[in-house]
Amino acid sequence: MNLVLGDPAKREMKRYRGLVEDVNELEPEMEKLSDAELAAKTAEFRERLGVEAPDISHGQSSAASLAGEDTEEAEIARAEERERAEERARLLDDLLPEAFAVVREASKRALGMRPFDVQLIGGAVLHQGRIAEMKTGEGKTLVATLPLYLNALEWRGAHLVTVNDYLARRDAGWNGPLYHMLGISVGVISGQDLSFIYDPDFLDETHPDPRLQHMRPCTRREAYAADITYATNNELGFDYLRDNMAQSLDACVQRRLNYAIVDEVDSILIDEARTPLIISGQADEATEKYYTYARLVKRLELETDFTIDEKTKSATLTDEGAEKIEQWTGIPNIYDMEHVADAHQINQALRAAALYKNGDEYIVNDAGEVVIVDEFTGRTMPGRRWSDGLHQAIEAKEGLTVQQENVTLATITFQNFFRLYGKLAGMTGTAITESEEFDKIYKLEVAQIPTHMPMIRLDEADLIYKTEEGKFRAVVEEIDERNKQGQPILVGTTSIEKSERLSRLLEKRGVQHSVLNAKLHEKEAAIVAEAGKRGAVTIATNMAGRGTDIVLGDGVTDVGGLYIIGTERHESRRIDNQLRGRSGRQGDPGESRFFLSFEDDLMRVFGGERMQGIMDRLRVDEDTPLESRMVSRQIESAQSRVEGHNFDSRRHVVEYDDVMNKQREIIYGERRKILEGTDTRANFQAMIEHITAAEVPTYCEGRNREAWDYEGLWERMHQFAAALPPLAEVNTESLGATVDEVIETLNDELMSLYEEKEKQYGQEAVRWVEQRVMLQVIDVKWQAYLTQMDHLREGIGLQAYGQRDPLVEYKQAAFDSFVDLQEDIQREIARFLLNVQIQRQEPAAAAPDGASAEPAPAAAQATAPASPRGQRRREPGDGATAPAARPAAAQASGALARATAATRPAAALPAQPAVRNVVESSGAGTRRVGASAPVASNGEERKVGRNQPCPCGSGKKYKYCHGR
């Protein structure tokens, strides 16, 4: 293909040759500038861009409304914003040569490093919103400084996204002097709600790396307000979700998502894209059944009682197995609707027992917690939890304390989160194999950047053994032989268990070595730094240590450079290439070889019996390797099938989340407008008009006014406004002769009642109550809706048995459900605000925990009539306020949730979620951090007849509404 189309890397070099020449021509001019003159270039560039001040508006905006209406004004505003963005992009392109020349000169002075010509090309690719594939050791960390500086000139924020907290802090600290020299501020967003800003006047002498001693702790908002912010993908996503759960603008920390470079883009946008980010709270449920089912499934036999599919990690009971479970539990039929939850827990217990192994998918730490192991990097992910009851099932299997399951409070996929950025770019050493997915999902083009020095690493043919035992003997023999020559060796394994197995074999052989796996990730950087020294032997789980270069020690080039040994093929060719890519950096010598067996997971699961038959026919023993082009093709074919399967899985995730994405934009956009102080009164009036337009025709059908159901209509209106006079005191003829006239009359009457409240309590107090009510109703209803959609998603697959497309059915069901949600939110808000009473009381002496929310005007306290189901109220738990939902602002409005008795039952404001433990979920699992959780009623609930009106106020019969 290269003979026909040419080398892709060389094509990129030709494409950017003019740019490189322009930057190089400016170098002598920049060298003549003093440090002050060089720093002054930043202000000059911003003046030429027409930028006068930083854009520090926090949170994301949306033109969509709660009613789903997209106004003409909103479309015009979007068109104007697109035009402005295009103009800004043109101005930045014009500045690019000068800006890159300035960064190159600052890098020489502050860091002692001069970006090569190929690094300039990489920077230009990143500025254009593409993916730069750059080989390991080509200086991606330095390359990113070029486009980050250029895009930071807009004063709209530029993000560098990394795979872990260590890399975010390291890269910001290393490049901090360069940015500081040019007057650019740098922030870091880290886990555990930690954030930093680079400050050369600050000194942390306790940090062992001098380059990281100037990272001053700061607020999260300050770190995001910096010109450039380094952060992990998880923290960015979770902060976005938390901002959209905030009760005030002061609680929002993120700026609008302007520009991002994703480091190790394949790891973040592909490997971690199968599972969405989730913030969830604990559900109130018993956990005893997890232990019961964990014991029972151990008595089941594979194939007889259940079957497993290792490709999809699924387990299914056979008829015999289902009968045994029913006999042991006393459940007549576990597949009856009333036992759906039991069937689900049994299935998760089965998966935990048969498909998830301690040391592979997870480990149990010293604190007795199940800790997930990332299948791609081999790193542990402390605090993360699998969702849907799987984590609980594994805890029960291991005999640990089972923590409660969770309900979703907010969720988004990485695909839809990163598509929120105005411009997105990425860099990695291995992207070309996934170029199709980058294009289809993210609209990102991959560009191969040429290396500064020719690649001379020798990639040997695979050696294939009949058994795993024979393979490991050969690996140990090879390590021992090369180690005696002094050649450093990096051995890649696919699991903690296999890395420890190999470690034991090397110990028996007397070979000194280091182990880099999930259990030792704290020492990761230190171990990797030593891996290139003469005689070093390092065993690494998958790509542990990725992001840290292995620099060759003295004399290593004389013995062949770093030798890479792969002990198993990964299901993705890209991961194998990443392992190989650790050797041969910047023209260094190196070598790589994979040792495989027909008992490896990839061979066994995807190669089938055909490969084993080949070995048997050749009659080779365990210690004799096979070098066969045909077998290598079989391996590549198996990898291609897995890659296709994984691509389909990720596409499946984003297809379903795309359905929710528009709905999420509408809900978050409505919250945003409320937080920004958009005219809530006009919003409320529009809700009233919408409700009357929907309700009146139901009771006033036809032109015969005598047949109209005035009694039903008035009873329905009394559910929204208890202050309306009784029907006996109303002249029905005065309501109007047509449906439109009745609607208009009711609108006037309801707004007249509302105006009386404004006169009674004052405009300011009523506006304050409106904002709190609207936010709380939206939050409670949205969180309940997410749980409903989780259940819908779980069961939608059954539609395939009816020859219907599950995705199409899901889209239709989601659309119908969202229409109901919008109606429900508007009715609940109207019902509360039309019946609200505001009590004036003395302000509290101080807000608890230093809550930053503004107090209600004149210390207003809102109360509402009790609902037909009784009071709904839950006090916050004992846990401290946590960053996941930042509920401090909500505490100031907590009085809104207190319901009091009134003359007529109406609606109580849904209780503000209480502070509970929360779980943030991403990638392979979830992370517990503490936040808001849905509130269950602790009041008495009356029995509702199936043919009676539903207490929710929808007007439908209970059996057709919440009684379904």
Question: What is the 3-state secondary structure of 35-92?
Answer: HHHHHHHHHHHHHHHCCCCCCCCECCCCCCCCCCCCCHHHHHHHHHHHHHHHHHHHHH
Q: Supply the pLDDT for residue 625.
A: 80
Task: Please state, in angstroms and rounded to a whole number, the distance separating the CA atoms of residues 528 and 540.
Answer: 9
User: CA 821 from chain center: how many Å?
Assistant: 24
| Same-domain status, 443 and 475 | no
How does DSSP classify residue 471? Answer: H
Residue ending a domain, among 628, 660, 685, is: 628
Does residue 819 sit in the same domain as residue 861?
A: yes
Rounded to 10 deg, the angle between the 390-397 and 340-355 helix axes is 60
Q: What is the pLDDT of residue 188?
A: 97
* Residue 727 per-residue DSSP state: G
Q: What tens digit of pLDDT does each residue of 193-244 get? A: 899 999 999 999 888 888 889 999 999 999 999 999 999 999 999 999 999 9
Longest dimension (CA), the chain: 104
Instruction: Kindly state the helix (H) or strand (E) to which residue 458 belongs, with its residue range.
Output: strand 458-459
In single-letter form, the type of residue at position 795 comes to: G
CB 773 within 8 A of CB 763: no
The reply to whether 707 falls in a domain is no
Assess whether 320 and 426 both reside in one domain: no
| Residue 704 resides in a domain | no
**Do 201 and 317 fall within a single domain?**
no
Q: Which amino acid is at 485?
A: Q
Same domain, 49 and 191: yes
Domain end, chosen from 393, 426, 448, is at 448
Q: Are residues 368 and 424 in the same domain?
A: no
List of the chain residues with pLDDT < 70: 1-9, 11-12, 57-74, 282-286, 311-312, 335-338, 340, 376-377, 405-406, 517-525, 542-548, 606-612, 614-615, 618, 620, 795-803, 839-964
Task: Give dist(CA 179, CA 166) in Å, integer.
Answer: 19
Do 232 and 121 lie in one domain? The reply is yes
CA gap 433, 11 in Å, rounded: 18
492 lies in some domain: yes
Task: Say how far residue 96 (Cα) sits from the centre of its chain.
Answer: 32
Q: What is the CA radius of gyration of the chain?
A: 32
- Identify which of 374, 360, 370 has the alpha carbon closest to the alpha carbon of residue 403: 370
pLDDT value of residue 860: 47
Residue 217's CATH number:
3.40.50.300
Whole-prediction pTM: 0.74
pLDDT per residue as tens digits for the range 157-191: 999 999 888 889 999 999 999 999 999 999 999 98
Nearest to 455 by CA among 547, 557, 591, 588: 588
Closest CA to 9 of 424, 450, 356, 359: 450
Nearest to 963 by CA among 938, 941, 946, 943: 946
Would you say residue 743 lies in a domain?
no
Same domain for 484 and 439: no
**Residue 143 in contact with residue 123, Cβ under 8 Å?**
yes
Q: Looking at the structure, do residues 443 and 469 belong to the same domain, yes or no?
A: no
Decide if 764 contacts 848 (C-beta within 8 A). no
Instruction: Output the pLDDT for position 519.
Output: 53
| CA 813-815-817 angle, 5° bins | 65
Distance, first Cα to last Cα, the chain = 60
d(CA 831, CA 807): 35
Residue 629: is it exposed, middle or buried by C-beta count within 10 angstroms (0-12/13-18/19+)? exposed
Same domain, 289 and 272: no
In a domain, 752, yes or no: no
**Dihedral over Cα of 255, 258, 264, 268: its sign:** positive
Number of domains the chain is built from: 4
Same domain, 378 and 271: no
* 921 strand-pairing partners: 278, 926
Contact at 8 Å (CB) between 251 and 852? yes
User: Is the residue at 726 inside a domain?
Assistant: no
Does residue 679 lie within any of the structural domains?
no
**481 burial level (CB within 10 Å; 0-12, 13-18, 19+):** exposed
The pLDDT of residue 576 = 86
The CATH number given to whatever domain includes residue 342 is 3.90.1440.10
> What is the domain range of residue 387?
285-403
Establish if 753 belongs to a structural domain.
no
497 DSSP 8-state letter: H
Q: Could you count the other beta carbons within 10 Å of the beta carbon of residue 763? A: 11
List C-alpha distances in Å: 961 to 55, 116, 713, 817, 906. Answer: 46, 67, 19, 12, 19
Those residues whose C-beta lies under 8 Å from the C-beta of residue 520, and which sit 6 or more positions away, are: 527
Q: Round to whole Å and give the CA distance between 563 and 479.
A: 9
The single-letter code of the amino acid at 345 is: Q
Report residue 471 CA to chain centroid gap: 39
Structure token digits, residue 80: 């104007």
Taking residue 937's Cβ as centre, other Cβ atoms within 10 Å add up to: 14
d(CA 374, CA 923): 8
Helices (H), 486-565: 496-509, 524-530
For residues 31 and 102, state if they share a domain: yes
- Which class for 63: exposed (0-12), middle (13-18), buried (19 or more C-beta within 10 A)? middle
pLDDT, residue 430, reads 81
The structure tokens listed for 785 are: 């809706």
Distance between CA atoms of 801 and 941, rounded to whole angstroms? 38
